[in-house]
Amino acid sequence: MDFNFTNLTNKPSAGETRQVKVLILGSGPAGFAAALYAARADLAPVVLTGMSLGGQVSLTHTVENYPGFPTGVGGQELVDLFQKQAERFGARVEFDTAVEVDLSQRPFRIKTYNAEYLAETLIITTGATPIHLGVPGENEFTGRGVSYCATCDGWFFKDKDVVVVGGGDSSLEESLFLTRYAKSVTIVHRRDALRAGAILQKRAMAEPKIKIIWDTVVTEVLGDAAVKALRINNLKTGSEQDFPTDGLFIFIGHHPNTELFEGKLEMDGRGYLHTDVTMHTSVPGVFVAGEAGDPNNSQVITSAGMGAAAAMQAIRFIEEHAAQE
């Protein structure tokens, strides 16, 4: 299913300043869940989609672990449903991107390519981007054999051979998960030792479906309609070969999309925004939901739950400050 662009708008016109009670940056599950809850509170939230409507889930062929869809649902279709539900209650979706923020005082000032917003509250749901290998063929075969989420796509590789790139905890966790479906899982790691925790290493080493190719990197993804092989290079010997495989899963980390808030909000060394149990950031009235503040989960359901929680806290924040005025 195609995205619903019917109600997307580039309004207000350039140079116009618009006041909103709740401004949401990002249009993935966290963003639309926040929009739904804020809209049902009659706060007329505005969602700025960012450069990619739907976030990472829109790249997933089928989502099979979101409640309510026993036969699965397409990633794009699910985002479209999220959007329609939020708009039904009065959320407004703007195809626009924040380029500058001033969080020094309320209302917060957010500039976009097309306008400027003064927001009583701000919910950041800008997500995180999987770190890519940056090799030829990777982008071309994303969704056709190249994946960054074993939980999302592992089932599609039932009884097939797959390769996993990475040597950390997430790489081994996802490799072990893939053994539920795949005929074989080959971990390609650029070093001669894994960085994952000892327990995960023991589990991986004991799993008969898993083997490891050490001191090796993937230099190209090969295929036609789908992935057929990987060109790999041994860093110690310099030898190169084409390694047949049906799929490539890349787990070398995520990068949160939080550059816009550097120096304005507290974040850890990796760029994940600091948040408390109420989804508040270091600035009162600014909330974060989803992977922009959560380095541990990369699931639609967790992001949506955080988005709902952030909106509920934003509603409380607005009510409390209205009572004080």
| One-letter-per-residue 3-state SS of 292-307 | HCCCCCCCHHHHHHHH
Hey, which residues does 117 pair with through a beta bridge?
Answer: 18, 110
Judged against a pLDDT cut of 90, whether residue 172 lies above it is answered with yes
Domain harbouring 189, CATH code: 3.50.50.60
Give the least confident one: 2-6, 179-183, 319-323: 2-6
Q: Which of 56-60, 193-197, 212-216, 258-262 bottoms out in mean pLDDT, i.e. has the lowest?
A: 56-60
Tokens at 176, concatenated: 């072990």
Encode pLDDT of 210-229 as tens digits.
999 999 999 999 999 999 99
Residue 72 identity: G
Which residue type is seen at 184? S
Contacts of residue 261, Cβ cutoff 8 Å, sequence gap at least 6: 101, 103, 124, 267, 273
Concerning whether 153 is annotated as a catalytic residue, the answer is: yes
Q: What is the pLDDT of residue 64?
A: 80
Q: Which residue would you say has higher pLDDT here, 119 or 57?
A: 119
Q: Which amino acid is at 43?
A: L
- Give pLDDT, residue 14: 54
**Domain membership flag for residue 7:** no
Q: Using the predicted structure, report yes or no on whether residue 128 has a pLDDT greater than 70.
A: yes
Same domain, 27 and 118: yes
Q: What is the mean pLDDT of the chain?
A: 92
**Tens of pLDDT along 285-298?**
999 999 999 988 87
Instruction: At 139, list the tokens.
Output: 């982008």
The reported pLDDT for the residue numbered 170 is 80
State yes or no: pLDDT of 12 exceeds 60: no
Residue range 75-92: mean pLDDT, rounded: 96
- Which of 149, 224, 268, 294 is catalytic? The answer is 149
Under the banding of pLDDT at 50, 70 and 90, the label for residue 10 is very low
Write the DSSP symbol of residue 246.
Answer: S
The answer, as to whether pTM is greater than 0.85, is no
pLDDT of residue 190: 96
Stretch among 28-32, 117-121, 173-177 having the lowest mean pLDDT? 173-177
Residues composing the chain: 325
When pLDDT is cut at 50, 70 and 90, the band that residue 56 belongs to is confident
**End residue of a domain, out of 229, 250, 271:** 250
Q: Does 143 lie in the same domain as 285? A: no
Q: Are residues 37 and 117 in the same domain?
A: yes
Strand residues in 197-306 grouped as ranges (E): 210-213, 216-223, 227-234, 240-244, 247-250, 254-256, 286-288
Model confidence band, residue 57 (pLDDT cutoffs 50, 70, 90) = confident
Contact status, residue 222 vs residue 228, Cβ threshold 8 Å? yes
Domain endpoint, select from 196, 227, 250: 250
Query: Which position has the higher pLDDT, 14 or 318?
Result: 318
Taking alpha carbons only, the member of 73, 86, 68, 75 closest to residue 32 is 86
Q: What is the mean pLDDT of residues 41-69?
A: 88
Q: Which of 2, 42, 96, 152 is catalytic?
A: 152
E strands present in the chain? 17-25, 46-48, 92-94, 98-102, 108-112, 116-124, 128-130, 146-147, 161-165, 184-188, 210-213, 216-223, 227-234, 240-244, 247-250, 254-256, 286-288
Count of structural domains, the chain: 2
Q: Is 268 one of the annotated active-site residues of the chain?
A: no
Do 289 and 188 fall within a single domain?
Answer: no
> Would you list the DSSP string of 62-96?
-B-SSTT-TT-B-HHHHHHHHHHHHHHTT-EEE--
- Cα 322–123–153 angle (5° rounding)? 150
Asked if 150 and 228 sit in the same domain, the reply is: yes
> Out of 15-19, 71-75, 146-150, which region has the weakest mean confidence (pLDDT)?
15-19
**What strands, in cross-sheet order, belong to the sheet with 216-223?**
216-223, 227-234, 240-244
| Domain contains 264 | yes
Domain membership of residue 12 (yes or no) is no
Instruction: Write out the residue range of the structural domain in which residue 105 sits.
Output: 17-129+254-324
Q: Are residues 82 and 137 in the same domain?
A: no
Q: Quick one: pLDDT at residue 39?
A: 98
pLDDT digits (tens, 9 = 90+) for 272-285: 999 999 999 999 99
Taking phi over 0 as left and psi of -120 to 50 as alpha, with beta for the rest, 68 belongs to: left
Which residues contact residue 286 at a Cβ distance below 8 angstroms, ignoring those fewer than 6 apart?
A: 103, 108, 121, 122, 123, 124, 265, 280
pLDDT: is 30 or 321 the higher one?
30
DSSP state of 123: E
Under the banding of pLDDT at 50, 70 and 90, the label for residue 15 is low
| pLDDT above 70 for 303 | yes
Q: What is the DSSP letter of 227?
A: E
Residues 306 and 278 in one domain: yes
Residue 3 scores a pLDDT above 90: no
Q: Which of 80, 96, 153, 294 is catalytic?
A: 153
